[in-house]
Each structure stands twice: as structure tokens, then as C-alpha cells.
């Protein structure tokens, strides 16, 4: 079936459906609101600005931004925009290149079709624009909570206690004050909960993780298989990738080194059973995580003509993955097979991040050229 | 035969017989003088023939009776008598009577038979040597009248054909000389030698002496062919008689002498054409009889080959031997003959002399290898015979044994080949030929032998290096060919390829040895290209390492690309191995697969290239040599940006010129793209010179002689200037020159004119006068602006003004070059003869000098017929007239000088030349005269054929110029006649083909 497209000239890659030019500085990151038609983007030019933004079902109607000034801020999404003042400001004292990561949950993710039964998918299909409009009128925070509730209600009863505590505590992962450390922060209390690797202060410098240089990319997730404990993937300057389990903070579950250069971005798919990583070398690696064995194996390695992948993202339905390249291009891959699908040329400077909307309809790419482009690619069935 | 008669007669008897014959001749003479009728003449002459035969043809009864009554002498007596008659003085006397008196008066009336029997027999019967002596000198003697002379000559010609050709008199002559030799016991006395020489000279002079209308059989070609044929037959017969002994033989000597005389008369080709088939059949018979081993002894023992072995020796004239050998080689080359056969032909002809005579050795080794140019196959034969001295099919063992001569010859060849003077002054064919000789020798030599020869190694290196510097591609190819062969001698496994198109079996012909006429047509332009190529190639070698690196990098990239675009089916394997998680989704995904159809995945990096929008950025990027991509992109963008001619260009131009000249394209560009990078750089520089001439030229001409750039950059600068001059000259944009009433034209826009910004298509600003007032305190300007889309013009607008004339004086000039000509030429002409550190145009960097002069010539051409040409021509003339330039050792420079001289001739307006003559402008008149004399000199004496042909063209141009000038002078004369007398300088210019001089 896949080889059907033999005849004829392939169609040209699509153009962005919309371009947002509000920023005056390179756009560093963007994220979609999980339920409402909102896109948050952060630009960072000179010394000030937003280095990364993140939002999630789990954190409610809020958005977290990270600056390069050693602080992270949590904002309330209000009717007319963001709150004037952040809800919480927490000083992480971290000055590095690692973007923050909220916790991605295999079962919480509305699009993870394996974990969530068919009823969930009906809900998904109900995400029409009208409904979202309606949501908007009704008050977003309530709606958001409702979704959370639905998700939680439909969760299996076998969930462990620590998951719920973790899940409800709204956590955030980022590289710490010592930039080779990974820290977990509680968003609500603005407190540092723990850090990886967890070592005594004496042998901190000699810990093998410390030899890997700065932590450059983090992805936190809660897989359904591993007893719903918080897991972390962290990529380092030397190209290695570590898989942590919060229950074993001293040593990683698995250490792999697929890249010859710094790992710049990590993304885990909706089922938390695999992911994609981009780095400063000319490779994109798709890997799979075996939770029972605790091993990470390379599934596919894609070589690139021009090196440098600053951002990666996997669509919620696990069909396609996108990468943001230093070569100004956004590349789309079939996530399952790993074959290239499109090379999107729009940006006139290197791309910093890509993000998919929760409904899988849209993709945003942000670039040094101060624009954010919106793309409509391979829209899911049932929508037109 | 006559021999018996001679032997029989004693001295006294002979004397008696002689007096008898003389009285008889006197009688005949008297009878003929008194004869009234042709029969009487026949009767008087009849004595050598049988009477009844003659009687049959005589009509007159009385005469017939008289003839029949004569008592015939007996045979023996007859022979004695005949001998006395021909050898003595009687025959010359009678022959004179026969040839003049009888021939002019009576012969026409002779019956055919009588003519044959009575008249012709005098000559046919006699010994050919005497006949020749009697007949040939008479050819040139004047008869009393023209008619007489014609009759006499045609008769002599007829007799000559009869005696020499029909009766094979020449062959008989060879036999006669053989007999002569035997009588004198084979001692060649000096008088006999002179006799032989005299006869052979007479024989060979026949075609030249006969009249123009003579029979074609006596034309030099056919006559000599038949003579040669007879000579060779006779000589072969004689050789069989002699049976391998008794040399030198008078017969052979005669053949040799005749050959040399024929050769001196320029018909050696006919002889050689006769010789080749004979000797070839001889060699072939040897070769077929001795299947593979032809031993010289076999040839020596054969009597037939005896003559051939001695033939060359018999030709005493060295010039003739040389011509003969040369012609022999050339004719052999045009036949399809095997190398072995040629070797043995040469061996038979020359081996004897080659071993003992230094002349033949010198001829082959010196003349034929160093001075002459033969086709390549001849060169191989010469080398085989004279240098290797072994048959070409001999086995390796024989080949391995090399004579001491071989190494000596090789050393001689190499030493001459390596001389710089040889490269400079010998013709291209000669160079190719000698190079081929050296190369063919080197192919046969071993490393040990090479080491043994002193100097050979260093000489080869010197020769190669001085050739590699040459601007002519062919010369460099010769160097690389020799280098290749040489490297194979030194290390057979590691051949050295200096050139990309240097292939393994070296083509020693270099495309010029067989078809030798073609090179003369090569034009200067080609040379220019060649030298450009040369530079590039030079640079190329520097970037070889980089190339390899890039190739590796590229192949890796390509692999990556291939992997990336590989068949998706192949990529499924890892999914199936590791992707248990996905197996459950299979059915779901299959349905949606169609939605994941890839888009067009083609990708190029055009958009990734850095965009330059500021001239300053370009200059800065060009200086960053460690960022090759940046430099490359800057080069890409440079020309376009410069052509856009932004306001700041004049400020940045100097900076840009420096940056562009100093860029190392070979380091920057990707492998295989050096040329395009180079081209971009050149185009950008040309654009700079064209858009911003003064500022750029200022910097560029200063750089030209600065010591911190190399030859390549100097040549680059000159090339750029050449191209820019041509572009300025051919400007297609018609420029509207506005006369502002200023004496000094402003290059940039004056401050008081409004800026030229505005909608596209807006016309230039024009000053308008204030209506109504004659004095205006302010300037008013207006311009035309294209109407906006959608705007319609309604009605007409009229403007009344004073209508200043200057508005109408819009000059349309296509050639912008003359304005800048001085800036192009004058700084470049300064200091070409100075020697500084790294600058030595007159000697080492002669290519730069040649290019510079060429550039100046192009500049001249670009302002042809403009007044600026007349202003700048004296300076250029001054430069090229200097001895160091016009008589430069390198042909390349001389060619440039000829080109520049021709350009001057084209560029000067005839009226200007005329006026400078009238005014006595020494610079111009003297210079033009110098061009003529110098071009004449070059066309006659220059070793370089192209120089000579260019000089001829130059002369032609001079003649044309002179013609035009003389017309202008005539016009001036008419004018002058009314005004004042002409100054005496008028005759300073020589007008060829006119009646005044020449």
C-alpha cells in the first residue's frame, strides 16, 4: 500500500496556511493549548525573553514559560490573554540551553489510542471548532478541569498511588543549577522536588553523568506500563541519552549514545513507548523504549544532508513526526516507518521548534526569522 | 665491339685515321655548303651507313649512283674508323655542321628514312658520352634567326630523346664508364673524375636547357625519372659484373654524380621515387628468404646489393646525400611500409658510411634529429637506425645491448632540448619533434643508464620546468609528456601525471608533426585562453589535496542522501523487529497510509546561501579566507550588487578590488568548480571597472606593479582590464550625455540636481529655464515620470520657453571607453621595465608583459578613430619600440607587440596621421615607420611562424593605413595649395605599392 505512489510526479510540498509575524526576535518555542484554539509562542532576543513555553492538560489552564534569566514563570490564561503577572515565579538559577518539559502521560494523553478505549476517541472527534468556541464561552478553566476529570475517571482502577500524587502535583522537569543535573519542580509550590542523578555531594563530580556535559534536552513522561511512575529522558552534550526512573534516581535505567554531537531535542510519542531525538550532528534517531526490560533501542536512523535538528515533535496520533532544522527546513517523517514525507521550506532562518496541536490538525514551526508558521499536514480522518 | 678496335689500332694508325676523318669531314662540309639540293646533302653525309639503304630514299638519279659506287669499308676497318671519328675532333666538327647547317637548311626536306638512316645515325651510333657532349651545349647557342634557333633546338631535343631515352643511352653510358674504368685499372684519375662530373652535369642540365615548348618527355620530372631508371639498371648490371669487388667504380661514380647534379637541380624526389621500389624489392627478397633473421652478411654477399651498399658513397656531394636521405625518409613515410623494411633499407644505404664516415652519422644524429622536422614515423626510423642501431624486431637481448653512441646521442638531445633558448626561439614543429625524439629515447632507457649519463637528469628537470612556465599549452604538454616518460624510467610503478589530459601512451605527435601546416592559423586569442587555462591549471594543482577531501566528503553525503531516499520497504525491517508496540495498530494504519503519501522531497540549498546586500559585507566576507562558503557566496553576489551601482560603490570600489584580487578561488571553491568561482571573481572585477572606472583603476593599476601579488594575480588584473575595456567600448546602453556647460565633466551627479530617486521609469532631470527672465538665480529641473496605471492623459500640454540650445545637444555615444582610456593605459605603461622584488616583467614574468601589451593593444582598438587614440598612441608606440620589448626573446611577447602595433594602425584616424605628418610630428611618423620596418623584419626573420604571419597582417594594415593617409594628404594638398607650402616632412611615411618609394 505504501508503495502505491509510483506513477506521476509527487505533489509539491505545501505552504504554511498561516504565518504569524508578531515577534521581533527569534521565536524559540511554541505550544498549542491542549483544548482551545490557542497557540503560545516565546521569542528570545538579546538578553531577555522567553526561551520556552509549555502547557499541558495536567497543569490546567495555565502556561509555563522559561526565561534565560534563571526563572520560570507560570501564567494564568485569562479571557483576554495571559494574566498580567505570573501566578508563580520560581527561581531555578539555571542558565543553560535546555528547554523545560512538562510531564507527558501515556494514559492522560487523549490521543493515545492504545491506552484509551474507543469512547475517548469519540470525544476526540467531538472537538469541533464550534465546541471549542462554546468552551471558550463557558469558561476555560472549568472545561479544562472537566477534561481532566474525564480522563481520570476513565483511568483504570489499577493505578498506583504515587502516580496520582505525581500526576496531580503538576510537575516540571528542567536542567538544574548545575546544568548537567536534571531537576523536578513542583509547579504549584514552586519547589524543587528532586534531581537526577541523586548523589551525595562528595562524589557529585565523579558521577558518570557529570562527565556527559550539560543536559540539553529533557522529556518527562509517565508510561502506562512501568507502574505509572515518572520517567525522564535526558540528552547530553556528548550525544548520550539517559533514561531515568524516578524510583531509581541515582542511576539511569539505560544509557545510549546514538549521536556524535550534542542531543538538542527529545520527543516521546503518545504511548511513551518510543520517541525521536535530534542533535547537532546529521542524524535523526527514532528509538523505542522497552519498559519491562528498561532498555532503549534504536529503531531507525535517518541521515541528513545538513546537520542540526533543534526541535522534534511527534503528533498525538503517532502518525507523523516533525523536525526543525538549522537548515531552515521542517521535515516531516512517517513516524511508524521512518520514511520522509515532506521537506517544508518556508523559513528563512534556522528553525527552533515544532509543535503539533492536540487535535493533530495543525503544526506550528518557529524560527529565528521571527515568524511562526502554521501548517496543515495529513489531517486526521474524519475532518476535512 | 669498340674495344677490339681500340686494342687493334696503334697510336700511329689512330693518328692517321683521325686526319683521314678530319679531311673527310672537311669534304662533307664543303659539299654541304655547296649543295643545291637535299639529295646532295644526303649523298655527302651517307658515309657511315649502308649505301643501298640510303640510295632507296634518294630521288635524284645521279646522287643515287654516286652513293652506290662508294666502296664500303670492311667491318674491322669500319670500327677503327668509327672509333677515330667519334673519339677524335672529327665528330664535334661534323656534329656542329649537322646540328646547325644541315638542321636549319636541309633537314626538313630529308625523307623520313634518310633522316633516320643518314642523319640520326651519326648520333645514335656513337658513344653516348660524346653525343651528350656534342648535343647538350648546342642547346643554348643562338642561331642566326629565331626561326633557325627553334629549328635547331627542336632537332637537338629530338636527337636527345632518341639517343638518351629511346636507345637507353644513359644505361649505355654507365656501361661505357665501367669500361673506361677497366682500361685504367680502376684508378680514378682526377681528369677522369672531372670528365665524369662534366658528363653528368650535362646530362642533368638537359631539362633546364630545353625550350619551354619541348616535348614533355624532356621535362625534368619525366626525363629524370627515365634517366634514373636507366642509371639504376645500368648500375645494377655493373654491380653484377663487378661481383662484389673493385670499388670505387667509375660507373658508380657517374651514377652518384648524376644523382647529385639532379639533386642540385631540385629533382631528387624523382630519383628517390625510382630508388625506393627497387631497394624495397631487394629488402623484401632478403626478408622473405631469411624468415626472421636478416644477417647483414647475407646482404653483403649478394652481388645485387653491391651497388646499393656503395651508392651513397658514390654521391660525393654531401648536400645531395642529405637531400637524398631526407627525401627518402619522407617518401617512405607516405607509403605503408613496415618498420623492419625501412630499417634494412636505411641499413643497406647508409650503414657503411654510418660506421666509418662522420658525415652520415652527423647527418642523422645532428641534422635529422635537431634541425629537420620529419613525420613521427620517420623519427622512429631515424632513431632506430642511427641511435638505437638495431633492427626494430630484434629481441630484448639485442635491445639491451646499447651502443655508447646511444647514450651520447641521448645526452646531446637532452642538452639541447633543455635549453631555454631552444624553447624560446625554435619553431613549434621543431620543438615537438625534438621532444618526441627525447621521449622516444627515454622510453628505451633504464634507470641505471640514466644515472650513468651525466647531466641528463638535471637537464631533463630543467627542460621540463622551463616548459611548464610557457604560456603556450602545447609546450606545457610537451613538458608533461617528457615528465611522464621520465618518471616511468625512474619508477615504473609511479607515473607522474602533470596534466589531466596526459594519457598513458603519449601522443608524441602533439597534433603537429604530421599535419604541420595547421598551427600557423592559431590566433592570439587562443593563446590567451591557453594561458588562462595554464594559470588555472597551476592553481588546480595547489588544491589537489582539498579536492580529495571534498570528494570524500561528497561521497559520504551522497551515501547519506541515498539512504535517506531509499526505498521505504527496506526501512520496514527495523520496525518489524522492534516495533511490537505498533503491531496492534497495523490495520488502523494501513487504512490511513494513503494519507501519508510523501510530498516532493527534492531539496536544494539555494535559499540557504547567505544573502549579501551590502558592498561592505561582500568585501568583509571575501577577506575571511577561513570561511570558504562565505567567500563563495560573496563571489556569487558580488557582480549583481556591483552592477546595481549603489551610491556607496565609489567609496567601496577600492576595497572591493583589493579583496577580489586577493581571493584564492582554488581554495574556496568546491572541487570542479574552481573555474566558475574564478569566472565570478573576474566578472565582479569587470563589473567594478565598468561601473566605477576611475576609483577602481586607481587601485588596480597600483596593485599591478606592487610586489605583494603574484604573477597569477597580475595576469588576472590585466585580463580584467582587457575585458572591462572591451565592455566599456561595446556599451549597449546609450548614455545621454548632458552638457552642463562645464569644461570639466562631473562624474558624479552634482549636488544641486535633485536625487534620482523616484518611480521606476522616471526620466533624467533636465534643467529648465525660468520663463520670462534671462537671468535665473536658481536652477529648475524637471523630469518625465511614467503615468500611473489607470491614469489617462487628457489633452496636450505645451510649454513655451526660451528653448536653450543645450537641451537639444544630447549626445548619443556608444563607446564609453575613450573617456577612461588614459586611466587604463598610462598607469599600466609606467614602470613595466622596472625590476622590483617579485616584479620582473622583462625577463621572468614575460607572460605578464605579453598580456600587458595585449591589453594595451585592446585599449587602443577600443578607442579606434577617437581623438584619444591619437593622444595615447605615441606613448604606447614608445613602449613597444623599446628594444627589450620589441626584440624580446619570447615569441609570446613579440606576438603581443605585433598585436598592439596592429591595433595602433587600426586606431589612428587617417586625418590625424596626415596632420601629424604635415606638422612634422616625429613621434607618430617615426613610430609608424618603425612599425613597418620592424614588421618587415619580423616577417622575414622571426623563427616563430605565428609571429611571421602576424607581421604580415600588420604590414597589410600598415599599407591600408598609408593608403587612407595618402588620400587624406591629397585632400590636405588641395587645401594647402591655397594656403602655404608643404613642409618637408611629408615623405617620412613610406607608402607601399605606390610610386614614390618601394
Query: Is pLDDT above 90 for B712?
Result: no
Nearest CA in chain A to B563: A303
Query: Is pLDDT above 80 for B35?
Result: no
Evaluate whether residue B479 is within a structural domain.
yes
* Mean pLDDT across chain A: 77
pLDDT digits (tens, 9 = 90+) for B827-837: 988 888 888 87
Query: Is pLDDT above 60 for B256?
Result: yes
pLDDT digits (tens, 9 = 90+) for B511-569: 766 543 333 333 444 444 444 443 444 444 334 433 333 333 443 444 443 333 333 44
Q: Are B618 and B638 in contact (CB under 8 A)?
A: yes
- Is residue B737 within a helix (H) or strand (E), and if so which, with residue range? strand B735-737
Q: Find chain A residues with C-beta within 8 A of B581's C-beta.
A: 114, 271, 273-274, 288
Strand partners, A266: A277
Domain boundary among B490, B514, B538: B490
Domain boundary among B122, B145, B172: B122
Which among A135-144, A309-318, B6-15, B962-971 has the top mean pLDDT?
A: A309-318
Q: Any idea which residue has 592559431 for its cell? A: B522
* Closest to B579 (Cα-Cα) out of A235, A253, A269: A269
Query: Is pLDDT above 60 for B225?
Result: yes
CA distance A43 to A51: 7
SS3 B767: strand
CB within 8 Å: B596 and A320: yes
DSSP B856-875: HHHHHHHTTTSHHHHHHHHH
The secondary structure of chain A, three-state, reads CHHHCCCCCCCCCCCCCEEECCCCCCEEEEEECCCCCCEEEEEEECCEEEEEEECCCCCCCEEEEEECCCEEEEEEECCCCECCCCCEEEECCCCCCCCCEEEEECCCCCCCCCCCCHHHHHHHHCCCHHHHHHHHHHCHHHHHHHHHHHHHHHCCCCCCHHHHHHHHCCEEEEECCCCCCEEEEECCCCEEEEEECCCCCCCCCCCHHHHHCCEEEEEEEECCCCCCCCEEEEEECCCCEEEEECCCCCCCCEEECCCCCCEEEEEECCCCCEEEEEECCCEEEEEEEECCCCEEEEEEEEECCCCCEEEEEECCCCCEEEEEECCCEEEEEECCCCCEEEEEECCCCCEEEEEECCCCCEEEEEECCCCEEEEECCCCCCCC
Bridge-based pairing of strands A283-290 and A171-175 is unpaired
Q: Which of B596, B600, B608 should one mutate to test binding to chain A, selecting the residue with the greatest count of A CBs within 10 A?
A: B596
pLDDT digits (tens, 9 = 90+) for A17-55: 999 988 888 999 999 988 888 888 888 876 667 888 888
Over residues B873-882, the mean pLDDT reads: 90
Q: Are B43 and B63 in contact (CB under 8 A)?
A: yes
Evaluate whether residue B398 is within a structural domain.
yes
DSSP B791-860: ----S---------HHHH--EEES--HHHHHHHHHHHHHTTTT-EETTEETTTTTHHHHHHHHHHHHHHH
Query: What DSSP state is assigned to residue B192?
Result: H
Evaluate whether residue B99 is within a structural domain.
yes
Domains and CATH numbers, chain A: 17-375 (2.130.10.10)
Half-sphere exposure of B854 (CA within 13 A, CB side): 27
pLDDT digits (tens, 9 = 90+) for A70-82: 888 888 888 777 8
Q: Find chain A residues with C-beta within 8 A of B563's C-beta.
A: 303
Over residues B6-13, the mean pLDDT reads: 55
Interface of B with A in 596-625 (CB under 8 A): 596-601, 603, 605, 607-608
Evaluate whether residue B972 is within a structural domain.
no
Which among A108-122, B78-92, B672-686, B887-901 has the top mean pLDDT?
A: B887-901
- pLDDT for residue B745: 46
Burial (CB count <10 Å: 0-12, 13-18, 19+), residue A82: middle
- Total domains present in chain B: 2
- Percentage with pLDDT > 70 across chain B: 71
Q: Are B621 and B627 in contact (CB under 8 A)?
A: yes
- pLDDT for residue A297: 92
Q: Are B599 and A14 in contact (CB under 8 A)?
A: yes
- pLDDT for residue B562: 35
CB within 8 Å: B579 and A299: yes
> Cβ of B593 under 8 Å from any chain A Cβ?
yes
Evaluate whether residue B297 is within a structural domain.
no
Q: Find chain B residues with C-beta within 8 A of A378's C-beta.
A: 595-596
Backbone angles phi, psi at B420, to 5 degrees: -65, -35
Q: Which of B603, B605, B629 should one mutate to test binding to chain A, selecting the residue with the greatest count of A CBs within 10 A?
A: B603
Query: Is pLDDT above 60 for B40?
Result: yes
Go through chain A and tell me how many residues it has.
Answer: 384
Smallest Cβ distance to B561: which of A305, A319, A345?
A305
Q: Containing domain of residue B80, as a range?
A: 1-122
CA distance B656 to B642: 10
Count the neighbouring beta carbons within 10 Å of the beta carbon of residue A349. Answer: 14
Evaluate whether residue B94 is within a structural domain.
yes
Interface of A with B in 301-320 (CB under 8 A): 302-306, 318-320
* Mean pLDDT across chain B: 74
pLDDT band, residue B758 (cuts 50/70/90): low
Interface of B with A in 879-898 (CB under 8 A): none
Query: Is pLDDT above 50 for B754?
Result: yes
SS3 B768: strand
Evaluate whether residue B790 is within a structural domain.
no
Nearest CA in chain B to A295: B578
Determine if the peptide bond prior to A197 is cis (ω within 30°).
Answer: yes
Q: Find chain B residues with C-beta within 8 A of A383's C-beta.
A: none
CA distance B959 to B940: 17
Evaluate whether residue B19 is within a structural domain.
yes
Domain boundary among B101, B122, B143: B122
C-alpha cell at B75: 667491318
* Closest to A30 (Cα-Cα) out of A322, A296, A256: A322
Amino acid at each position: 500500500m505504501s508503495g502505491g505512489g509510483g506513477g506521476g510526479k509527487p505533489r509539491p510540498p505545501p505552504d504554511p496556511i498561516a504565518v504569524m509575524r508578531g515577534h521581533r526576535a527569534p521565536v524559540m518555542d511554541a505550544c498549542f493549548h491542549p483544548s482551545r484554539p490557542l497557540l503560545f509562542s516565546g521569542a528570545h532576543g538579546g538578553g531577555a525573553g522567553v526561551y520556552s513555553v509549555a502547557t499541558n492538560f495536567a497543569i490546567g489552564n495555565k502556561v509555563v514559560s522559561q526565561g534565560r534569566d534563571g526563572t520560570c514563570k507560570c501564567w494564568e490564561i485569562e479571557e483576554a490573554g495571559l494574566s498580567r503577572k505570573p501566578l508563580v515565579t520560581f527561581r531555578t538559577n539555571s542558565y543553560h540551553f535546555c528547554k523545560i518539559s512538562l510531564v507527558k502521560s501515556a494514559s492522560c494523553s487523549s490521543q493515545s489510542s492504545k491506552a484509551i478505549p474507543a469512547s475517548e476517541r469519540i470525544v476526540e472527534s467531538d472537538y469541533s471548532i464550534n465546541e471549542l468556541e462554546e468552551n471558550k464561552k463557558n469558561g476555560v478553566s472549568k472545561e479544562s478541569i472537566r477534561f481532566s476529570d474525564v480522563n481520570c475517571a476513565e483511568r483504570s482502577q489499577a493505578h498506583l498511588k504515587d502516580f496520582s500524587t505525581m500526576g496531580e502535583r503538576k510537575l516540571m522537569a528542567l536542567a538544574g543549577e548545575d546544568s548537567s543535573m536534571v531537576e523536578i519542580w513542583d509547579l504549584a509550590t514552586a519547589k524543587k522536588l528532586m534531581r537526577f542523578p541523586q548523589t551525595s555531594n562528595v562524589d557529585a563530580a565523579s558521577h558518570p553523568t557529570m562527565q556527559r556535559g550539560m543536559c540539553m534536552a529533557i522529556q518527562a513522561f509517565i508510561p502506562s506500563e512501568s507502574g505509572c511512575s515518572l520517567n525522564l529522558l535526558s540528552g547530553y552534550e556528548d550525544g548520550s541519552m539517559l533514561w531515568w526512573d524516578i524510583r531509581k534516581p541515582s542511576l539511569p535505567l539505560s544509557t545510549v549514545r546514538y549521536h556524535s554531537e550534542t542531543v538538542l531535542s527529545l520527543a516521546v510519542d503518545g504511548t511513551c513507548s518510543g520517541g525521536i531525538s535530534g542533535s547537532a550532528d546529521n542524524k535523526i534517531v527514532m528509538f523505542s523504549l522497552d519498559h519491562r526490560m528498561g532498555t532503549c533501542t534504536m529503531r531507525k536512523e535517518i541521515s541528513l544532508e545538513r546537520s542540526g535538528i533543534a526541535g522534534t515533535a511527534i503528533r498525538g496520533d503517532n502518525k507523523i513526526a516533525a523536525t526543525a532544522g538549522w537548515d531552515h527546513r521542517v521535515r516531516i517523517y512517517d513516524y511508524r516507518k521512518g520514511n520522509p514525507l515532506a521537506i517544508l521550506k518556508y523559513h528563512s532562518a534556522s528553525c527552533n521548534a515544532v509543535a503539533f496541536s492536540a487535535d493533530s490538525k495543525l503544526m506550528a514551526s518557529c524560527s529565528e526569522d521571527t515568524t511562526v508558521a502554521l501548517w496543515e499536514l495529513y489531517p486526521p480522518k474524519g475532518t476535512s | 665491339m669498340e674495344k677490339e678496335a681500340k686494342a687493334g689500332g696503334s697510336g700511329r694508325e689512330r693518328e692517321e685515321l683521325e686526319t683521314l676523318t678530319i679531311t673527310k669531314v672537311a669534304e662533307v662540309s664543303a659539299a654541304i655548303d655547296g649543295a643545291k639540293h637535299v639529295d646532295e646533302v644526303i649523298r655527302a653525309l651517307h658515309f657511315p651507313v649502308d649505301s643501298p639503304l640510303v640510295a632507296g630514299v634518294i630521288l635524284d638519279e645521279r646522287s643515287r649512283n654516286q652513293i652506290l659506287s662508294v666502296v664500303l669499308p670492311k667491318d674491322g676497318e669500319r670500327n677503327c674508323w668509327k672509333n677515330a671519328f667519334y673519339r677524335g675532333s672529327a665528330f664535334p666538327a661534323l656534329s656542329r655542321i649537322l646540328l646547325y647547317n644541315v638542321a636549319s637548311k636541309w633537314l626538313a626536306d630529308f625523307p623520313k628514312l634518310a633522316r633516320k638512316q643518314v642523319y640520326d645515325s651519326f648520333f645514335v651510333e656513337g658513344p653516348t658520352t660524346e653525343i651528350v657532349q656534342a648535343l647538350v651545349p648546342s642547346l643554348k647557342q643562338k642561331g642566326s634567326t629565331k626561326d633557325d634557333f627553334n629549328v635547331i633546338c627542336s632537332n637537338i631535343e629530338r636527337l636527345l630523346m632518341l639517343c638518351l631515352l629511346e636507345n637507353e643511352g644513359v644505361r649505355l653510358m654507365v656501361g661505357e664508364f665501367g669500361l673506361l674504368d677497366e682500361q685504367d685499372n680502376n684508378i680514378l684519375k682526377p681528369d677522369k673524375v672531372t670528365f665524369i662530373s662534366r658528363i653528368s652535369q650535362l646530362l642533368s642540365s638537359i631539362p633546364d636547357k630545353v625550350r619551354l615548348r619541348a616535348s614533355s618527355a624532356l621535362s625534368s620530372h619525366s626525363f629524370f625519372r627515365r634517366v634514373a631508371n636507366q642509371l639504376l639498371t645500368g648500375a645494377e648490371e655493373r654491380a653484377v659484373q663487378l661481383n662484389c669487388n673493385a670499388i670505387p667504380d667509375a660507373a658508380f661514380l657517374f651514377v652518384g654524380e648524376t644523382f647529385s647534379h639532379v639533386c642540385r637541380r631540385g629533382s631528387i624526389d624523382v630519383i628517390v621515387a625510382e630508388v625506393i621500389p627497387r631497394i624495397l624489392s631487394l629488402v623484401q627478397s632478403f626478408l622473405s628468404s631469411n624468415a626472421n633473421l636478416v644477417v647483414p652478411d647475407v646482404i653483403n654477399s649478394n652481388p645485387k646489393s653491391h651497388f646499393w651498399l656503395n651508392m651513397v658513397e658514390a654521391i660525393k656531394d654531401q648536400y645531395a646525400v642529405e637531400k637524398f636521405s631526407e627525401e627518402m625518409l619522407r617518401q617512405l613515410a607516405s607509403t605503408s611500409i613496415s618498420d623492419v623494411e625501412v630499417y634494412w633499407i636505411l641499413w643497406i644505404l647508409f650503414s657503411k658510411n654510418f660506421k666509418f664516415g662522420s658525415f652520415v652519422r652527423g647527418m642523422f644524429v645532428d641534422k635529422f634529429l635537431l634541425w629537420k622536422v620529419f613525420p613521427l614515423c620517420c623519427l622512429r626510423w631515424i632513431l632506430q637506425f642511427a641511435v638505437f642501431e638495431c633492427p626494430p624486431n630484434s629481441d630484448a637481448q639485442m635491445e639491451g645491448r646499447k651502443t655508447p653512441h646511444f647514450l651520447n646521442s641521448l645526452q646531446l638531445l637532452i642538452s639541447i632540448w633543455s635549453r631555454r633558448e631552444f624553447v624560446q626561439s625554435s619553431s613549434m614543429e621543431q620543438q615537438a619533434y625534438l621532444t618526441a625524439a627525447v621521449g622516444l629515447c627515454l622510453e628505451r632507457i633504464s634507470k641505471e643508464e640514466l644515472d650513468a649519463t651525466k647531466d641528463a637528469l638535471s637537464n631533463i628537470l630543467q627542460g621540463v620546468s622551463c616548459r611548464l612556465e610557457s604560456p603556450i599549452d602545447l609546450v606545457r604538454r610537451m613538458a608533461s609528456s617528457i615528465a611522464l616518460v621520465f618518471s616511468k624510467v625512474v619508477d615504473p610503478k609511479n607515473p607522474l601525471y602533470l596534466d589531466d589530459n596526459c594519457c598513458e601512451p603519449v601522443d608524441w605527435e602533439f597534433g603537429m608533426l604530421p599535419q604541420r601546416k595547421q598551427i600557423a592559423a592559431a590566433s592570439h586569442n587562443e593563446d590567451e585562453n591557453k594561458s588562462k587555462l595554464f594559470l588555472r591549471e597551476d592553481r588546480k594543482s595547489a588544491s589537489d589535496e582539498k579536492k580529495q577531501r571534498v570528494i570524500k566528503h561528497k561521497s559520504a553525503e551522497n551515501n547519506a542522501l541515498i539512504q535517506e531516499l531509499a526505498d521505504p520497504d527496506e526501512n520496514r525491517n527495523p520496525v518489524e523487529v522492534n516495533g511490537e508496540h505498533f503491531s496492534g495498530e497495523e490495520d488502523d494504519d494501513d487504512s490511513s497510509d494513503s494519507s501519508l503519501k510523501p510530498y516532493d522531497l527534492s531539496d536544494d540549498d539555494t535559499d540557504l546561501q547567505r544573502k549579501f546586500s551590502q558592498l561592505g559585507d561582500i568585501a568583509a566576507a571575501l577577506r575571511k579566507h577561513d570561511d570558504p562558503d562565505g567567500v563563495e557566496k560573496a563571489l556569487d553576489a558580488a557582480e549583481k550588487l556591483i552592477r546595481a551601482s549603489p551610491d556607496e560603490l565609489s567609496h567601496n570600489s577600492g576595497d572591493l578590488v583589493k579583496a577580489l584580487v586577493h581571493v584564492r578561488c582554488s581554495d574556496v571553491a568546491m572541487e570542479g568548480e574552481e573555474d566558475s568561482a574564478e569566472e565570478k571573481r573576474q566578472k565582479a572585477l569587470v563589473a567594478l571597472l565598468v561601473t566605477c572606472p576611475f576609483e577602481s583603476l586607481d587601485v588596480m593599476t597600483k596593485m599591478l606593479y606592487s610586489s605583494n601579488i603574484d604573477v597569477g594575480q597580475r595576469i588576472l588584473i590585466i585580463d580584467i582590464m582587457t575585458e572591462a575595456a572591451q565592455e566599456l567600448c561595446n556599451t549597449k546602453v546609450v548614455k545621454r550625455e548632458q552638457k552642463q556647460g562645464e569644461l570639466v565633466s562631473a562624474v558624479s551627479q552634482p549636488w544641486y540636481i535633485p536625487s534620482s530617486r523616484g518611480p521606476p521609469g522616471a526620466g533624467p532631470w533636465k534643467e529648465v529655464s525660468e520663463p520670462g527672465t534671462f537671468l535665473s538665480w536658481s536652477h529648475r529641473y524637471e523630469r518625465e515620470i511614467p503615468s500611473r496605471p489607470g491614469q489617462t492623459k487628457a489633452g496636450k500640454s505645451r510649454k513655451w520657453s526660451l528653448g536653450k540650445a543645450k537641451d537639444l545637444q544630447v549626445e548619443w555615444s556608444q563607446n564609453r571607453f575613450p573617456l577612461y582610456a588614459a586611466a587604463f593605459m598610462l598607469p599600466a605603461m609606467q614602470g613595466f621595465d622596472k625590476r622590483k622584488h617579485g616584479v620582473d616583467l622583462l625577463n621572468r614574468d614575460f607572460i605578464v608583459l605579453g598580456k600587458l601589451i595585449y591589453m594595451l593593444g585592446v585599449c587602443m582598438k577600443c578607442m579606434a578613430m577617437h581623438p584619444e587614440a591619437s593622444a595615447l598612441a605615441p606613448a604606447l608606440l614608445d613602449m613597444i619600440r623599446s628594444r627589450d620589448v620589441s626584440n624580446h626573446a619570447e615569441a609570446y611577447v613579440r606576438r603581443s607587440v605585433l598585436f598592439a602595433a596592429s591595433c595602433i594602425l587600426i586606431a589612428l584616424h587617417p586625418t590625424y596621421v596626415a596632420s601629424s605628418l604635415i606638422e612634422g610630428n616625429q613621434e607618430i611618423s617615426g613610430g609608424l615607420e618603425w612599425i613597418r620596418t620592424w614588421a618587415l623584419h619580423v616577417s622575414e626573420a622571426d623563427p616563430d611562424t605565428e609571429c611571421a604571419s602576424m607581421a604580415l597582417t600588420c604590414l597589410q594594415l600598415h599599407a591600408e593605413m598609408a593608403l587612407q593617409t595618402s588620400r587624406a594628404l591629397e585632400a590636405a594638398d588641395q587645401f594647402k595649395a591655397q594656403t602655404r607650402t608643404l613642409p618637408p616632412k611629408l615623405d617620412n611615411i613610406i607608402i607601399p605599392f605606390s610610386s614614390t618609394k618601394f
